[in-house]
Amino acid sequence: MVPKDLLYTKEHEWLRVEGETGVIGVTDFAQHELGEVVFVDLPGVGDTFEVEDEIGTVESVKAVAEIYTPIGGEVVEINERLEDEPELLNDAPHGEGWLVKIRLSNPADTEVLMSAEQYEALTQGGE
């Protein structure tokens, strides 16, 4: 399942642009690879990041994976539900399982991200 309205990274994060804000999450492919998510560590509101900075980690029963931001900017909101319900990442990775919202410092950051078609090719062994 690769929603067409999102942009993607090779590290399996997704981005949905909403005006001057980018919503970031991990893809359905990534959550399948991780398995059952048991803990999510997210940055604080007000933290600032550059493109590809590590912004947190996802811990599953199998592994710990770093989360990288596909855009630079300031964190304006975190998904606080993940603190008590980390399984939202498994249940709805492109919906209620979003991670953070970042105010974009440079909208051009999105120009290097993959389309849904490009991401599908990547995860199916092509590209």
pTM value is 0.95
3-state secondary structure of 72: coil
- What stretches in the chain show pLDDT beneath 50? 127
Which residue shows structure tokens 């980690």? Answer: 57
Q: How is domain 7-123 classified at the CATH fold level?
A: OB fold (Dihydrolipoamide Acetyltransferase, E2P) (2.40.50)
Burial class from Cβ neighbours inside 10 Å (0-12, 13-18, 19+) for residue 108 reads exposed
Q: How far is CA 47 from the centre of its chain?
A: 16
Q: What is the pLDDT of residues 82-94, one digit of tens each?
A: 999 999 999 999 9
Can you read off the two tokens belonging to residue 51? Answer: 């493109």
Domain boundaries of the chain, sorted by first residue: 7-123
Which helix H or strand E contains 91, and what residues bound it?
A: helix 88-91
